[in-house]
Amino acid sequence: MRRWPLMMFLVFYFRIERMADLTVSRHFVQAALGGAERLDMDVRAMLQEAGIPPELLKIEKARVNSDQYSRLMQVIWNRMNDEFMGLGPRRCLPGTFATMCALIIDSPTLKSVYQRAYQFSRLFEPAACLKLEQNGERAALVMVMEGMPDDPVHFLQESLLVIWHRLGSWLIGQPIELANASFNYTRPSHGDEYRHIFHCPLTFNATDTRLEFDPRFLDAPVIRDKPEMRRFLQTSPADLLSRPDAGNTFTGRIRTLIGKDFSRPLPDFEWVAAELHTSPQTLRRRLKQENTSFQEIKDLLRRDLAIYFLARPDLSINDIAHRVGFTEPSTFHRAFKKWTGVTPGAYREGDRSLGG
């Protein structure tokens, strides 16, 4: 049986839903390569193998599509042979994560899942994992990072937060709705990206790094079994990491309802609310809780589609403008430059100097 380790879960770290047209910020591409760079590995060759033009990263607001990001993470894993990518306080040997999954699949409840996962992770020193805490009306997964990790931009910590949260959601068959995500460091320049990862209020400069949620989820039974886990570990982990966002957040469900054809009139907010069997007022409140709005969802989907289509050489820029809902190419050029800092043509070439 082919086992997929922790590294493969990072492949879909920042995917909002299971669609090839989603994009990932340049920051996370560079962060993923941080360990390889410090080991003097050929990161340019890694990028090229993943189909990412190295010149693209010269553009400050560049984004890569999720397929490119997925390939890059696989390249990093294959080259480094370390599930922590050289970012952890120690090396994490291949198969560690799969072994943990084999241990927790027999857990009766989510609480037991997190307790067993922590006990397993503590067998390795120094530890890099999350510990379950419960205090009154809140439960929390709290980051435990011992030793001296080489993770200056906190990429490994953030990856572990996402993995443990979404793995738990998959095991109980429902999203663990987050009440807050706290980080023990200053809000970074790319901090706005976190809103679309955690879908909850964010706190920076906190005493520790943690995810907080209602403790009622801890009593939820594990509904997956060993055959399901074996099948999952044999294939891409996209189902585990994308389903909690795409199918169970309002952001993901709205993206699905809007679809990918912006050349047609888009559904209005009232229609979307009715399709989601909720009132417009309730939907606005839920989107606010997820740190977004209906207009932002549409704007980001249009941006992601444009970047996705630009990777297709068979489409002209004018065709792309029409596909993402712009009647005038000049309007599309202005919007795209606002999103990325360069024109569509410069972005396609991957060179800021052509931006004009």
pLDDT band at 234 (very low <50, low <70, confident <90, very high): low
Tokens found for residue 227: 């055959």
For the stretch 247-283, pLDDT in tens is 557 888 888 888 877 888 888 999 999 999 999 999 9
Q: What is the CA radius of gyration of the chain?
A: 20
pLDDT for 21 equals: 55
Domains and CATH numbers, the chain: 6-219 (no CATH), 249-356 (1.10.10.60)
Cα three-residue angle 154-160-166, rounded to 5 degrees: 135
Q: Is the pLDDT of residue 68 over 90?
A: no
Q: What is the mean pLDDT of the chain?
A: 85
Q: What string of DSSP letters covers 223-245?
A: ---HHHHHHHHHS-THHHHHHHH
- Whether the full predicted model's pTM is greater than 0.75, yes or no, is yes
pLDDT for 356 equals: 41
pLDDT for 238 equals: 31
Q: What string of DSSP letters covers 11-33?
A: TTTT-SSS-TT-EEEHHHHHHHT
For the stretch 135-152, pLDDT in tens is 888 999 999 999 989 999
Q: Do residues 37 and 43 make contact, with C-beta atoms less than 8 angstroms apart? A: yes
Give CA–CA dist 241/237, Å, rounded. Answer: 6
Q: What is the DSSP-derived secondary structure letter of residue 265?
A: P
Question: For residues 351 and 128, which has the higher predicted lDDT (pLDDT)?
Answer: 128
Q: Do residues 89 and 146 make contact, with C-beta atoms less than 8 angstroms apart? A: yes
| Mean pLDDT, residues 201-230 | 95
pLDDT for 247 equals: 52
pLDDT for 102 equals: 92
For the stretch 240-252, pLDDT in tens is 333 345 555 788 8
Q: What is the DSSP-derived secondary structure letter of residue 146?
A: -
Q: Do residues 24 and 72 make contact, with C-beta atoms less than 8 angstroms apart? A: no
Give the least confident one: 53-57, 70-74, 113-117, 283-287.
Answer: 70-74
Give the least confident one: 6-20, 133-147, 302-316.
Answer: 6-20
Q: Is the pLDDT of residue 93 over 90?
A: no
